[in-house]
């Protein structure tokens, strides 16, 4: 099963989850506050794609709707 990254809009927690692809677009439950967390399209996901040729810089480009910081560092 692929690993997906989610970010909670309530508490800003960012976490990874193993999910079947059929559930990837569903909200995940935040392990901290139990609110629905949205999936984050991170640079890490690009690695699993392989053939895409994407080489986004690690630590940049991740978007979190709650963080003003582009690196989402406050989520960790
Ligand atoms: Zn949360």
Cα of 18 vs centre of ligand 1, distance in Å, is 18
* pLDDT at residue 11 greater than cutoff 80: yes
Say which residue the tokens 């053939």 belong to: 51
| Ordered structural domains, the chain, with CATH | 1-50 (2.20.28)
Q: Which distant-in-sequence residues (6+ apart) come within 8 Å of 50 by Cβ?
A: none
Cα separation, 39 vs 29, in Å, equals: 11
User: Which parts of the chain are beta strand (E)?
Assistant: 3-7, 14-18, 28-29, 36-40
pLDDT in tens, 15-61: 999 999 899 889 999 999 999 999 988 655 444 544 555 555 555 44
Query: What are the structure tokens assigned to 11, written together?
Result: 């508490």
Whether the pTM exceeds 0.85: the reply is: no
Which 8-state DSSP code applies to residue 46?
H
Cα of 56 vs centre of ligand 1, distance in Å, is 27
């Amino acid at each position: 099963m692929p690993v997906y990254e989610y970010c909670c809009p309530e508490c800003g927690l960012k976490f990874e989850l193993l999910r079947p692809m059929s559930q990837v677009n569903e909200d995940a439950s935040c392990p901290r506050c139990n609110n629905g967390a949205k999936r984050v399209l991170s640079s890490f996901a690009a690695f699993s794609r392989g053939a895409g040729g994407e080489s986004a810089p690690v630590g940049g480009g991740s978007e979190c709707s709650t963080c003003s910081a582009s690196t989402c560092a406050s989520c960790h």
